[in-house]
Amino acid sequence: MPAMRMLVAAAPVLWLLAATLAPAAAATCADLPVSARGDPSGFETLAKAKARGNWRAKVRVMPALGAAYADWSKARAADYRCSQEDGQYICTAVAYPCRD
């Protein structure tokens, strides 16, 4: 009988452990990357933020993708291509849009 009580007491813990170890659902990503150029800025960090914002806006209005795919932090292979001209940084954000 003590073994049965121990099993009943451990069941919720075992269920919680199994639920947390289950593999996460794979993200659904676009087949092609999306790129968007940002406005020039004197600071590279700001130039990247502008490019990222334009990338999100571009993905949001794409009929095949939309707002669900416009999260830069969920994008696959997200990267920036930046150059500097006349003291101004110009960046392009490139990534495969993904959703949960």
Q: Phi and psi of 62, rounded to 5°?
A: -75, 120
- Closest alpha carbon to 43 in 87, 93, 94, 92: 87
pLDDT averaged over the chain? 86
Sign of CA pseudo-dihedral 68, 73, 75, 78: positive
Please report whether residue 58 resides in a domain: yes
pLDDT at 7 over 60: no
Residue 22 lies in a domain: no
How do residues 21-31 score in pLDDT, each as one tens digit?
444 567 899 99
Residue 5 within any structural domain of the chain: no
Please check whether residue 11 lies inside any domain of the structure: no
Per-residue pLDDT, 23? 47
In a domain, residue 35? The reply is yes
pTM for the model stands at 0.74
- Number of structural domains (the chain) is 1
Range of the domain at 81: 28-99
d(CA 5, CA 34): 57
pLDDT in tens, 33-57: 999 999 999 999 999 999 999 999 9
